Structure 1
C-alpha cells in the first residue's frame, strides 16, 4: 500500500471513530420523573347531591364516625359527612392531584378544613383501618378487586356504601333507590363469618 493511501485510510478511520464517539455521547436516556402520576382507573364523574345525601343516610353517618371516600373527586361526600351528618372526621383518597387541590379548596370554602383530609394516592394503598364508614363510586371491576382489602382491613361493623355498583357475590345488606340511582350497603362481618362476603 502506498504511503499516501495509508495516511488517508488512517485519517478517514480516525474521523469515523470520533464521529461515532460524538454520536454515542450525544444520545442520552431521559431521566425518569421524580414522581410518576398514575392515570385514574375510574373516570371522574361527580356524585349527584341527592346520591351524596342518600349514601350518607344509608350508612347512618353520625357524630363519632370516621368516613373514608375512596375516589373522592371534588370532596363533596367528605365535606357533607362532617358538615351535614356530624362525622367527627372524614378522609378523601384520590389519585388525581387536581381533584385533591379542588377538594381542599371546597373544604376551605365550606369551613370544614379542620375536620377533613384529602390524600393523593392509589386507593388500594390507602390506610383505611380507622374508618367506620367507607363510601365508593367506582366501577364493578374495581369494587371486586377492592373487596379483599375492605374485608381484611376494616373493623367488623364498618359500613360500606357504593353508588351504582355492587360487589359481585358479596350480597349487600341493603339496596335502595335514591333519585333513580341504586345504592348498596354492606356491613363488614366478624372475622370468619358471613361466607357470602368471601
Structure 2
C-alpha cells in the first residue's frame, strides 16, 4: 500500500522495539542533518523518531519534507504537537509503525539513533530499498563492518558524539 506524498509502507510484522527512547541533543541533530547535507529537495525519514526533532529541524531549517516513525503512540502525539507548534505540519508526518515494515524507498535521507544490533538488523533493508545517492546518518553507533562514507563528531561539556554517514 502506498500513501500520499511518497510515504509508503509494506505488510506488517510484529512490533519490536529497536531502542529505548533517548532524546537527541540539538547539537547532534544539527550535525546529523549537516553531515547528510539535507536540502529542501529531500525526504527525511527518522526511524525511531521519538519527539520528532530530527524531521522537524530538517523542515524548519532546510524546508525538507519528513516522516518520523516510532512504536510509541505518546511519542507520535508529542511529535505531531511539536510540528504543529513549529508551523511545519504541512512538511512532516508521523506514524506509529514497526520500522521493519516501513517501505524505505521514497526516502533520500534516513536518520537513525538506534542500538548497534538494531542498526545491523536494518542494514540490509537500507541497502536494498534506498536509491543510489540516498544518505543514511546515525548517531553514536555504526553499521558494523559496513564502513561509513564519512564520520564526524560533536561535543558538549560532558560528552563527544560520533556521527556516521553512508552515501549509497
TM-score (norm 2): 0.87
Deviation of 1:38 (Å): 4.3
Mapping of 1:76-95 within 5 angstroms?
76-87=53-64, 89-95=65-71
Q: 2:93 aligns with which of 117, 124, 143?
A: 117
Q: What displacement does 1:181 show? A: 0.6
Secondary structure of 1:157's partner?
A: coil
**Residue 86 (structure 1) shift:** 2.2
Counterpart pick for 1:155 among 100, 123, 131 = 131
1:183 — aligned with what? 163
SS at match of 1:124: helix
Name the counterpart of 1:102.
Answer: 78
CA distance in 2, matches of 1:39, 1:161: 21
Structure with the higher fraction of residues in strand conformation: 2
Q: Counterparts of 1:31-70 in structure 2 under 5 Å?
A: 38=15, 40-70=17-47
Per-residue Cα deviation, 1:57-108 (whole angstroms, up to 9, x for no partner): 0000011111000000000001001111221x10001011110000000000
Q: Whole-Å Cα distance in 2 between the matches of residues 39 and 158 of structure 1?
A: 25
Max Rg structure: 1
Instruction: Give yes or no for contact 1:66–1:133 (8 Å, CA) kept in 2.
Output: yes
Deviation at 1:39, TM superposition (A): 5.8
Distance 2:121 2:16 in 1: 17
**TM score, norm. by length of structure 1:** 0.74
Higher helix fraction (1 or 2)? 1
Cα deviation for residue 41 of structure 1 reads 3.0
Q: Which runs of 5+ in 2 are unaligned?
A: 1-13
Note the residue ranges of structure 1 that are not aligned, 5 or more in a row.
Answer: 1-36, 189-198
Deviations 1:85-144 (A, max 9, x none): 221x10001011110000000000000111100010111111121111000000100000
* 2:54 is the counterpart of 1:74: no
